[in-house]
């Protein structure tokens, strides 16, 4: 599975000379995602289906095929890949990066080869999408540190089905040297302590994203019964944090009824196995 990547926090702490932004982010994977299947074939191909398939390319523009090419390294191996697309694209939840990471994993097993040493060549979020457990992501995404165990919790994801271009959101951020998260992360005895910690953190891209797409604020308002509601990544997907699966499912059903034009999904925060 290509699980959704959720930035529970996203602090923009600087910008390198090459333009890449430095981040400090708590990233979790939600139990909601795309599916990728592989079958033997003499040539490499990709087909796409599912509710989010419209407009998804099946040529080298798709990160799945670019991941396959990176792993193959010119050997000319084949595989028939089929992607079932559930996640919205350009949504701030790493859909393409998660698909690329899944492609690396399924093809490495299929071809009997090791994962590449430089998955970040495919995108800054690909390394974190190769890990299902919570991570502190720093640098431009290449510095990953396992996060202490989290209390069990569940997410509701809401996307208003609009694209918010990441470069435009970063460009609109006036202060690109914000404080990072605390150096030492405490242990959390329960969800209330975890939420209290999260409330002291930020997503520095939320304000410029909302200025560009005010409907993001409506998504946050729809999650007003959550323990915490925040935008993920550069938007436009927002998440609500809930204690139990029934609470999350009830909130998702309510929002689907109130805004049937939006994409809404519920799932657990994945924890270390």
Model confidence pLDDT, tens digit, residues 111-137: 999 999 999 999 999 999 999 999 999
Is a pLDDT exceeding 80 seen at residue 157?
yes
b/e map 34-53, b = 16+ CB within 10 Å: bebebeeeeebebebeeebe
- How far apart CA 246 and CA 243 sit, in angstroms, is 9
- The set of catalytic residues is 5, 125
- Residue 149's pLDDT band, with cuts at 50, 70 and 90, is confident
Pairing of strands 44-49, 79-84: parallel
Is a pLDDT exceeding 80 seen at residue 71?
yes
- Residue 19's pLDDT band, with cuts at 50, 70 and 90, is confident
Is a pLDDT exceeding 80 seen at residue 273?
no
Residues listed for the chain? 273
Quick one: CA dihedral 134, 254, 97, 22, positive or negative? Answer: negative
Is a pLDDT exceeding 90 seen at residue 64?
yes
Specify the range with the lowest mean pLDDT, choosing from 98-102, 174-178, 191-195.
174-178
Question: pLDDT value at position 100?
Answer: 98
Residue 152 to residues 27, 30, 59, 165: CA-CA distances in angstroms? Answer: 15, 12, 39, 32
Taking the alpha carbons at both ends of the chain, their separation in whole angstroms is 15
Q: Is residue 181 a contact partner of residue 136, using CB atoms and an 8 Å limit?
A: yes
Model confidence pLDDT, tens digit, residues 210-235: 999 999 999 999 999 999 999 999 99
Instruction: Give pTM, 2 decimals.
Output: 0.95
């Amino acid at each position: 599975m290509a699980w959704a990547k959720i930035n529970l926090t996203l602090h923009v702490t600087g910008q390198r000379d090459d333009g890449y932004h430095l981040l400090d982010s708590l990233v979790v994977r939600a139990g909601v995602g795309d599916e990728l299947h592989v079958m033997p074939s003499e040539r490499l191909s990709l087909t796409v289906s599912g509710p989010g398939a419209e407009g998804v390319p099946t040529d080298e523009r798709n990160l799945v095929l670019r991941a396959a090419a990176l792993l193959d390294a010119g050997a000319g191996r084949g595989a028939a890949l089929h992607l079932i697309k559930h996640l919205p694209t350009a949504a701030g939840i790493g859909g393409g990066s998660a698909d690329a990471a899944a492609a690396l994993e399924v093809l490495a097993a299929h071809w009997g080869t090791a994962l590449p040493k430089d998955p970040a060549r495919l995108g800054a979020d690909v390394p974190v999408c190769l890990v299902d457990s919570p991570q502190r992501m720093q640098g431009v995404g290449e510095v990953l540190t396992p996060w202490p165990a989290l209390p069990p919790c569940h997410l509701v994801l809401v996307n208003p089905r609009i694209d918010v271009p990441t470069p435009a959101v970063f460009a609109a951020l006036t202060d690109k040297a914000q404080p990072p998260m605390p150096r030492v992360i405490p242990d959390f005895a329960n969800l209330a302590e975890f939420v209290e910690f999260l409330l002291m953190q930020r997503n520095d891209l939320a304000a410029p994203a909302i200025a560009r797409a005010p409907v993001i604020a409506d998504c946050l308002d729809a999650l007003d019964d959550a323990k915490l509601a925040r935008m993920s990544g550069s938007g436009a997907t927002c998440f609500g944090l809930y204690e139990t699966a029934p609470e999350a499912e009830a909130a998702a059903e309510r929002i689907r009824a109130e805004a049937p034009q939006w994409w809404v999904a519920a799932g657990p925060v994945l924890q270390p196995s």
